Amino acid sequence: MSAVRPMTFLWPSNLWWLLLVPLLPVLYLWLLRRGAKPALRLASLGVVRAAVGHSWRRHVPPALMLAAFAVALLALARPTMQLTLPWAKSTLLLAMDISRSMRVADVKPTRMVAAQEAAKAFLADVPRRIDVGLITFAGTAQVAQQATPDRAAVVTAIDAIQMQYGTAIGSAIVLCLAELFPDHGIDLGEMTFGPRGAAARSLDKKAEPASPLPRQLVPAAPGSYGSAAIILLSDGRRTTGVETLLAAKMAADRGVRIDVVGLGTPDGHAAMGEGMAIYLQLDEPALREVARMTGGEYHHAATAEALRGVYRQLGSRMQLERRRTELTALLAGAAAVLLAAAAALSVAWFGRVA
């Protein structure tokens, strides 16, 4: 693993301006020497002694101004540093599989009940400043609860889950992105059924404002979007809807991190006694790839306790996150404080801004 650099710069070419800093003390000393000759003509020895007695004060405001100038020049290079900070993301979307395979009892009492209870316990640990929403998916994906700070509303939506046929993992991811980026023109219906299919499905609906046209997207670094994240829970594999990895690519291009929880035991589907058993098996390779592509983590939970442990782990990671943070605003603020201190001391000691 490569070593983490303590500080990097987004605009390193601006560091050349720091070469001006050593010249400023030289300029200051030259100005002092230039003003020293008239001072020798003072007739009063008492005035001279008073000036010498407070000589250290006259250097403090200029020193603070010099420090402020140096810090401001450093800020021009936009420095960044790896810091451990409170989690800054403001929106968290839980995408929960509600396919009929969630009835399986290999995770006690059932996968669905265990998932519901773990999700509700998780909500209690998520900081209040973070809005939480719920996306459910089976053969289709739907917004069960839009992101909100109201934990009771999310709990109500979790309790109201009704299981359905099918597993549209990719569609759930796309719907999450449509919720997070309403101005990106993401249309799940069009991606699933094509332009004509989406239009036909909307004929029975009341007229709605046209969705914005998709804008040109500049791919971001995976996991770099600091305002939202997705937690995806599934116990099966995609049977319909948008391709899972295509949806993961859309999330990765937007920098949205997806943490994935795979639920159930490898042969738990056999307890259902239904056909097409392969579609009821956990597709770990695809789920791991979703997490990898988006800069997230994959967790497998084969028991209810393991699932609760996964959610606890995710909750603790969200409280404190070590991430590279830009320090430009902080340094600019420090420069302003130093400048203000220099002016205040100059006025207090000498009655003017020197």
pLDDT in tens, 93-143: 999 999 988 888 888 899 999 999 999 998 888 877 789 999 999 999 999
CB atoms within 10 A of CB 179: 18
Three-state DSSP class for 260?
strand
- Is residue 104 within 8 Å of 52, Cβ to Cβ? no
pLDDT-flagged residues of the chain (< 70): 1-5, 35-54, 56, 82-89, 195-216, 266-280, 315-324, 352-354
What residue type is assigned to position 13 of the chain? S
pTM of the model: 0.64
> Which among 238, 147, 231, 243 has a CA at the least distance from the CA of 188?
243
CB atoms within 10 A of CB 261: 28
- Is residue 156 within 8 Å of 229, Cβ to Cβ? no
- Is residue 296 within 8 Å of 101, Cβ to Cβ? no
Tokens, residue 41: 């003509």
Buried b (16+ CB within 10 A) or exposed e, 325-350: eebbeebeebbeebbebbbebbeeee
- Rounded to a whole number of angstroms, the CA Rg of the chain reads 30
Strand order in the sheet with 8-9: 8-9, 79-86, 320-326
Q: Using one digit for the tens of pLDDT, what is the confidence trace for 63-94?
A: 888 898 889 888 888 888 766 555 444 789 99
What residue type is assigned to position 168 of the chain? A
Whose tokens are 């759930």? That residue is 172
- Is residue 164 within 8 Å of 98, Cβ to Cβ? yes
DSSP 321: E
End-to-end CA, the chain: 52
Domains and CATH numbers, the chain: 8-83+327-350 (no CATH), 87-191+215-302 (3.40.50.410)
